Amino acid sequence: MHTGEPDLQGMRKLESQNIINALRRGTVPASGLERIAIGLEMEEEVIRGQLDYVARGGGDIKFVRGDYGSGKTFLVARALEIAREKGFVTAHAVVSPSAPLHKLRALYQQICATLRTREEEHAQKSIIDTWFYGIEERILNVSAQSLPEDVLEKATLAEIETSLAGVSELNSSLAAALRTYYRANNDGDFQTAQSAIGWICAESNVGRDFKQKAGIKGDIDDASVFSFLRGLVRIIVSAGYRGLAIAVDEVETTQSLPRNQREKSYCTLQAIIESLDRGDLAHSYFLFTGTPAFFDGPRGIRTLPPLYDRISVVQSGEGFRNPRQPQISLARFDAKKLEQVALKVIDIYRDAYTDVDRSRVSHRFIRAMISRVTGKFGGRVDIIPRIFLKEFIDVLDKCELYEDYDPWEQYHFDVEHLRGELKDEEEAVMVVEF
């Protein structure tokens, strides 16, 4: 008989298989990251505290600093996972030549395209639908009786203005697009409804017909992004979420831009910090990642002293890091940490499939395997976690599939089969054999 109780064992097995599948592909798992996290307890606790503050109506920011291989990508993924567990909507943008930091519209577009809740990816539509549903519910509760559809629609459209008070005044186009979306949804005009979502998310392929129908002139531009972002966060919170947590990766790529674009990008960062401090971006959390050169190099944020002063840190003694400062500084990954991750992966593999034969995959073999793989990359343990874990899953698979597979004898790391999938940083330290 079905009891309605969740199948916790089945859910854990599915999550475990998802983690193993991601590692097998050489990617960061979408969930369950706490099960493979090593040495990030203090950083996670600081981020949790910031998110609690943001959930109460604050706005906050953190910069994650580290070289390639220090685990910035992992910490960002873990931070967003924590945010979703706390009831936040999350977004993940990557700074690049096609989406530089000074082009705010491109950044906003990435934020909208990657909106995610605990239940759903690409959650733009469901968030807006939930918001409208909440408005309708409040109206019906106040009226204490069922209302004709046309009366409910009229009351809901009026409520949009009230809900966006202070935001739609800055840019009435947002309210107009939302009204058009609501009407189109009610009329079964899903093409117009989709165009409305696309326009709100700054997609470039929304046609002139929609804008005429909505009474909108122009598109979202760099000058209006902050007011649209505030409106988006207002909708998110009104829909029942705690706020919006935004990760922005690879800001160090800004250093390669011409001077005028570089300075404009750093001014964008300063503007975000000032907006948070003024309370203009309530319920918003920003997490930026960059290399040490971005923070201290000659083409980094030092070139804008007001910004540098805001996010520079007091240098603490070795071993006494303080992640409560504006920057979280990550140390390079080492062999001891990678061995601990491998042991955690063995536990996850057991939950996903079956027990691992520890006589074949022993501590001694794991250390030897780490040495074999790092030997092909100049001994750089910090470079190889992704590659190592991909290889390690393959070893675990073969041990399960073949009783006579002996990794001591049969495992040989051949870097040649990885050519074409190596990242630039991995390729740069690879040992070339003649």
Where residue 46 sits, what CATH number does that domain have? 3.40.50.300
CA-based nearest residue to 307, from 371, 264, 339: 264
Q: Which tokens hold the place of 305?
A: 């002293």
The CA distances from residue 434 to 341, 417, 431, in Å, are 33, 17, 10
Tens of pLDDT, residues 76-110? 999 999 999 999 999 999 998 888 999 999 999 99
pLDDT per position as a tens digit, 197-234: 999 999 988 878 998 998 988 888 898 899 899 999 99
42 with 59, same domain: the answer is: yes
Is 379 found in the same domain as 424? Answer: yes
Domain ends where: 329, 352, 380? 329
Domain assignment present for residue 281? The answer is: yes
Of 47-56, 139-148, 329-338, the range with the lowest mean pLDDT is 139-148
Same domain, 213 and 128: yes
Residue 103 sits in the same domain as residue 132 = no
Q: Is 51 domain-assigned?
A: yes
Domain boundary among 201, 227, 253: 227
143 and 184 inside one domain: yes
| Structural domain includes residue 421 | yes
**9-13, 66-70, 92-96: segment of lowest average pLDDT:** 66-70
Express each pLDDT in 292-331 by its tens digit: 999 999 999 999 999 999 998 877 656 678 899 999 998 8
Average pLDDT score over residue span 334-359: 94
2 assigned to some structural domain = no
pLDDT at residue 365, as a whole number: 96
- End-of-domain residue from the set 287, 302, 329: 329
- DSSP H or E run through 244: strand 244-249
- 104 and 88 in a common domain: yes
φ, ψ for residue 89 (rounded to 5)?
-90, 140
Q: Is 252 domain-assigned?
A: yes
Proportion of the chain above pLDDT 70, given as a percent: 93
Question: What is the tally of structural domains in the chain?
Answer: 3
Together in a domain, 153 and 217: yes
8 Å CB contact between 304 and 260: no
216 and 79 together in one domain: no
Q: Clarify whether residues 167 and 302 are in a common domain.
A: no
Helix spans in 259-360 (H): 259-278, 292-296, 305-311, 335-352
In terms of DSSP H, where are the helices of 144-250?
Answer: 149-163, 172-187, 190-200, 208-214, 225-238
- 201 lies in some domain: yes
128 and 111 in a common domain? no
Enter the tokens of residue 75. 């910490």
- Whether residue 239 is predicted with pLDDT greater than 60 in this model: the reply is yes
Residue 74 lies in a domain: yes
pTM: 0.87
The pLDDT score that the predictor gives to residue 434 is 42
* Sheet containing 89-94: order of strands: 89-94, 244-249, 284-290, 59-65, 327-329
Tell me the pLDDT tens digit for each residue of 381-416.
888 888 999 999 999 999 999 999 999 999 988 877
Residue 26 domain flag: no
Whether 106 and 246 map to the same domain: the answer is yes
The 10s digit of each residue's pLDDT in 358-376 is 999 999 999 999 999 998 8
Residues 94 and 128 in one domain: no
Share of the chain above pLDDT 90, in %: 62
| Domain assignment of residue 363, given as a range | 335-429
Question: How confident is the model over 140-187, as pLDDT tens digits?
Answer: 777 656 677 777 778 887 877 777 776 656 568 888 899 899 889 888
Q: Return mean pLDDT, the chain.
A: 89
